[in-house]
Amino acid sequence: MAGEKRNPLSTLSRVNRSFIGWIEWVGVVGILTMMVITCLDVLGSKLILRPVFGSIDIVVLAQVVCVSFGAASTLILGRHIQVEFFVILLPERAQAAVDVIANALGLLLFILIVWRLSVYGAYMQTGAEVSATARIPLYPFVYGIALACVPICMVFILELIHSVIRVTKK
Residue 162 has pLDDT above 60, yes or no: yes
HSE, side-chain direction, 13 A CA sphere, residue 51: 12
Indicate the pLDDT class of residue 85, thresholds 50, 70 and 90: confident
What gap in Å lies between CA 37 and CA 65, rounded to an integer? 15
Indicate the pLDDT class of residue 101, thresholds 50, 70 and 90: very high
Residue 138 has pLDDT above 70, yes or no: yes
Domain membership flag for residue 2? no
Residue 27 has pLDDT above 70, yes or no: yes
What gap in Å lies between CA 43 and CA 5, rounded to an integer? 59
Ramachandran quadrant class, 18 (left: phi over 0; alpha: psi -120 to 50; beta: rest): alpha
| pLDDT, position 5 | 65
Q: What number of residues does the chain have?
A: 170
Domain membership flag for residue 28? yes
For CA atoms 43, 49, 50, 56, give the dihedral sign: positive
* CA 92 and chain centroid, separation: 29
Residue 129 has pLDDT above 60, yes or no: yes
| pLDDT, position 72 | 87
Domain membership flag for residue 136? yes
- Residue 161 domain boundaries: 8-168
Domain membership flag for residue 96? yes
Domain membership flag for residue 3? no
3 state DSSP class of 36: helix
What's the pLDDT tens digit per position in 8-21?
Answer: 888 888 888 888 88
| pLDDT, position 4 | 56
Q: Count up the domains in the chain and report the number.
A: 1
3 state DSSP class of 47: helix
The secondary structure element, H or E, covering residue 90 is none
Indicate the pLDDT class of residue 137, thresholds 50, 70 and 90: very high
